[in-house]
Amino acid sequence: MTIRRTAHAVYDTKYHLVWTPKCRKWIKREDIGDKAKEIFLEVSEHYGFEIQEIRVAEQF
């Protein structure tokens, strides 16, 4: 991620987000995990932020 600049500020903000669905068994299916990744990438593109790494846990 690059340093962002505005008229009165320079910043580099990073967040660590862990998303845990209530019923995790369903996400073991590969197609659902892929769809979740796709949705997160679409959201990041829409709001203009960068996802550096994205993983879906395969075993619990």
| 10-11 and 4-5 strand pairing | antiparallel
Percent of the chain having pLDDT more than 70?
77
The domain ranges of the chain are 4-47
| CB 41 within 8 Å of CB 35 | no
* pLDDT tier for residue 38 given thresholds of 50, 70 and 90: very high
The rounded distance, in Å, linking the Cα atoms of 48 and 22 is 28
- Per-residue pLDDT, averaged over 16-40, amounts to 75
Handedness of CA 36, 41, 45, 47 (dihedral sign): positive
Q: Which two tokens stand for residue 29?
A: 């299916």
Report whether pLDDT(56) > 80: no
| CB 41 within 8 Å of CB 54 | yes
Percent of the chain having pLDDT more than 90?
18
Report whether pLDDT(51) > 90: no
Please give the model's pTM, rounded to 2 decimal places: 0.61
- Per-residue pLDDT, averaged over 24-50, amounts to 81
